[in-house]
A = this chain, B = another copy of it.
């Protein structure tokens, strides 16, 4: 890892920039597959599954028999762990429930706001090297609490047509309605447009490779909402001379092992600490199974030494990290100054991996600086807040003049008239 000492303020933006990506040629391939799914439905889905996942499927939906079998395939220990994580995620997301607001803003004019679940949501769970059953819990649990009527999950099958049993088990625990063996762009298309087998959903959630992300962005232009745009995962750690270098190095590596494009950043006000972390990272790295991936990711990463806590927070807020771990002595104080971050881990005993799995917060978070404008997935992500208003005859008398005058001045006469006919009727 590179140590950068005392960068000048005018170099902050460059230092904290993420590696650029070119998504040009990708888009044409993705649009081709999406169009095909839209036109030919299940038939096209099956062809792409054969081409990309190397599996010939007769039935796309996971059966009750397969669900029951999955339960016998995973250990009681892992089942207990899934249930423990689910309990915490459920408790914290249930605490986010919105009770509604009602306010009589002036006599006879009452407004209210009510939370209503999105009726049908789609969850995408990637396959690949690691079976992300934790993401199943993170997405399906709040969907269920919100009251979504249909929770559809797509995940690519193995070459033998099976789905990882831990994914199926997590889906059962969290309350997924229907699971389909579909991966990649074809899964996003199937959920966005609907096919003979797969219900059309209104919002699609979940991670994926660059093809999946590109597909999500494309369908979000017209057909369906998505959770958020996404890039590679990242962590920013703030530490000082009181921090534990073993913990900090472990935190940096836990992010670096995600993928070669992951980005990890340490910001500290202690040169000596930065050097200790550098050595400790090297030591821990050598025993990691995913050492090669982590080593590549560390090449895009920085150990940055700054003057004081103020610069630390300025740099961190400018970076807007997906995960922010604050391991300084004064971590409570710094946490209050966070303006841009996805999720914040406070103190020495709170590794990112706790939130990745089981602390109760969501791990689907804004990357690539999107934390400046987007929240991570939370209960709100699965509802709409619909407003209601009711005006009485008295309310009409109190509000009509303002409405009519504003409508007239916006040159919208029929808007004015809709208020006027009521006013005339109550004035009689």
Contact = CB atoms under 8 A, between A and B. Distances in A.
Contacts of A389: 343-346, 350, 354-355, 359-361
A340 interface: yes
A109 B359 contact: yes
A351 B103 contact: no
Contacts of A349: 391-393, 395-396, 422, 426
Interface string A226-259: 0001000000000000001011001101101110
Given A84-B402, A250-B421, A387 B129 contact: no
A399 B289 contact: no
A180 interface: no
Given A133-B409, A254-B414, A410-B130, A378 B373 contact: no
Interface string A390-406: 11110110010111011
A261 interface: no
A105 interface: yes
Q: Which of A358, A380, A426 has the most C-beta atoms of chain B within 10 angstroms of its own C-beta?
A: A358
B111 A418 contact: no
Contacts of A272: none
A348 B415 CA distance: 15
Interface stretch (A42-50, A56-64, A89-97, A304-312): A89-97
Contacts of A250: 414, 417-418, 421
A371 interface: yes
Interface in A260-299: 284, 288-290, 294
A221 interface: yes
A347 B395 CA distance: 12
A289 B376 CA distance: 47
B373 A225 contact: yes
Contact of A411 (B130, B225, B413): B130
A376 B349 CA distance: 40
A387 B361 contact: yes
B354 A386 contact: no
Q: Which of A106, A251, A351, A352 has the most C-beta atoms of chain B within 10 angstroms of its own C-beta?
A: A351
A391 B118 contact: no
A30 interface: no
Contacts of A101: 92, 95-96
A338 B340 CA distance: 36
Given A130-B410, A385-B380, A403 B357 contact: yes
Contact of A388 (B105, B217, B343, B409): B343
Interface in A56-114: 77-78, 80-82, 84-85, 87-88, 91-92, 95-96, 101, 103, 105-106, 109, 111, 113
Contacts of A129: 411
Contacts of A341: 386
A350 B103 contact: no
A92 B387 CA distance: 10
A202 interface: yes
Given A352-B415, A375-B385, 8 more contacts: A85-B406, A96-B101, A289-B411, A290-B412, A343-B388, A345-B389, A357-B407, A371-B384
27 contacts: A105-B359, A109-B359, A133-B409, A220-B229, A247-B425, A250-B418, A254-B414, A284-B417, A288-B413, A288-B414, A290-B411, A290-B414, A340-B384, A342-B386, A344-B388, A345-B389, A350-B391, A353-B407, A353-B412, A353-B415, A353-B416, A354-B403, A357-B406, A358-B399, A374-B384, A375-B385, A378-B385
Interface of A: 77-78, 80-82, 84-85, 87-88, 91-92, 95-96, 101, 103, 105-106, 109, 111, 113, 116, 118-119, 129-134, 166, 202-203, 217, 220-222, 224-225, 229, 244, 246-247, 250-251, 253-254, 256-258, 284, 288-290, 294, 335, 338-362, 370-376, 378, 380, 383-393, 395-396, 399, 401-403, 405-407, 409-419, 421-422, 425-426
